[in-house]
Amino acid sequence: MVRMDVVVIGAGAAGLMCAFSAAARGRQVLLLDHANKAGKKILMSGGGRCNFTNLYTEPANFLSGNPHFCKSALARYTQWDFIEMVSRHGVPYHEKKLGQLFCDNKASDILGMLLEECEQAGVDLRLETAVQNIDKTDDGYQLQTGAGPVACKSLVIATGGLSIPTLGASGFGYQVARQFGHSVLPTRAGLVPFTITEPQLKSMCEALSGTSVEDCLVSCNGQSFRENILFTHRGLSGPAILQASSYWEPGDAIEINLLPQLNLSEWLDEQRQERANTELRTLLGELFTRKMAGLLAEHWFVSKPLKQYSANELTMIAERLASWRLVPAGTEGYRTAEVTLGGVDTREVSSKTMESQKSPGLYFVGEVLDVTGHLGGFNFQWAWASGYAAAQFV
């Protein structure tokens, strides 16, 4: 029987961070993953450039049934700590927008850095190794794995959420949590595109597939996000939509202000005075792509010269563009979601150490916990911070 101080299951962002940070403290660490490669999501992230953290990370950027839970770990291992490691490894990066830090080259720079840290610290990394069974022993845990039985004092579950099963996602972490008496809060896809089935809107989305509107304000259940939106064959996507999706429950409406930078009523009124003979379609063509303007003019309004609209009609046009309300049919689900909302209930886990309050020596880190970040590098920062926190105590 192999005996280790620590076994970490899941060689993703949180598991890698936890493994080398614990090994750097002198622990003997075995890091297991059932996939054939470590950190597959890191490689896919940020469009291949990995948005590895956010300069403005704050607890308010996270959703959780227990909003205070993330504070301690985020304060102990900050975005500046991760940036220091990235700089130490000479990985070139830049701020894209809104504090989002991306690699200049490839996401593999970040994965390479984490794997190098693992190697330097002496982490024993085993890929394509599944865990069949876990039992509690007097002084820790015993695992049956594809590589034989292993005993450890501390067991860290870093198996992530359910999003993108083709990248190795599984419900394994939730299963282990339940086995040791933990509650698992209902899970659902987050940071995910909406699907639309209402026929007229669906055909508009299909026709505009690939078109983005640069500056929109999307609101859902009291939360608003100002960024671009993107029409897709199936509905709506783009950063502002993805952010809103994390606050959306089936049946909820979302509201989109397509032109938050303008006071539309006033602006339309001015335009009517200055260019009375201009058609609404032409005017909209100055704000959106010509195709989108044409479709809006066709589906939403009757296009005619501005002088032919009453003040009331212009107000209604402004309202439609500034408060477009729609009820998505659903989301694209875990197939394309960037994250999983819900998960292991944080009320039964120590926010300082990530240790289970139900089963000593068992730890949960990363996305498997009910902590989900906004879009923009926050989810990785949670993975780094929670992985590091556990590593100080295993």
| Binding footprint of ligand FAD on the chain (CB under 6 A) | 9-15, 32-35, 40-41, 44-46, 50-51, 130-131, 158-160, 163-164, 168-170, 172, 338-339, 366-367, 377-380, 383
Least distance (Å) from ligand FAD to the CB of residue 338?
Answer: 4
Query: Quick one: 117 or 367, whose CB is closer to ligand FAD?
Result: 367
Least distance (Å) from ligand FAD to the CB of residue 26?
Answer: 23
Length of the chain: 394
Instruction: Quickly list DSSP for 234-300.
Output: SEEESHHHHHHHTT--TT--EEEES-TTS-HHHHHHHHHHH-TTSBHHHHHHTTS-HHHHHHHHHHT
Query: Quick one: 143 or 297, whose CB is closer to ligand FAD?
Result: 143
Query: Quick one: 164 or 216, whose CB is closer to ligand FAD?
Result: 164
Least distance (Å) from ligand FAD to the CB of residue 238?
Answer: 14
Query: Distances from the Cα of 237 to the Cαs of 123, 227, 230, 375, in angstroms?
Result: 39, 11, 5, 13
User: Distance (Å, rounded) from C-alpha 344 to C-alpha 192?
Assistant: 21
> Is the Cα torsion angle 382, 383, 388, 394 positive or negative in sign?
positive
Query: Quick one: 204 or 385, whose CB is closer to ligand FAD?
Result: 385
User: Distance (Å, rounded) from C-alpha 309 to C-alpha 331?
Assistant: 38
Least distance (Å) from ligand FAD to the CB of residue 145?
Answer: 9
Least distance (Å) from ligand FAD to the CB of residue 173?
Answer: 7
CA-based nearest residue to 131, from 167, 173, 100, 96: 173
User: Distance (Å, rounded) from C-alpha 358 to C-alpha 224?
Assistant: 37
Least distance (Å) from ligand FAD to the CB of residue 86?
Answer: 14
Run of H or E residues at 163:
none
Helix, strand, coil % over all residues of the chain, rounded to 5:
35, 25, 35
Query: Quick one: 239 or 377, whose CB is closer to ligand FAD?
Result: 377
Query: Quick one: 44 or 287, whose CB is closer to ligand FAD?
Result: 44
Least distance (Å) from ligand FAD to the CB of residue 340?
Answer: 8
Least distance (Å) from ligand FAD to the CB of residue 335?
Answer: 10
Phi and psi at 112, nearest 5°, equal -60, -40
User: Helices (H), strands (E): how many in the chain?
Assistant: 13, 21
Query: Quick one: 248 or 309, whose CB is closer to ligand FAD?
Result: 248
User: Collapsing DSSP states into helix, strand and coil, what is residue 183?
Assistant: coil
Number of Cα atoms under 13 Å in the Cβ half of residue 80? 3
Query: Quick one: 9 or 322, whose CB is closer to ligand FAD?
Result: 9
Residue with the closest Cβ to ligand FAD? Answer: 12
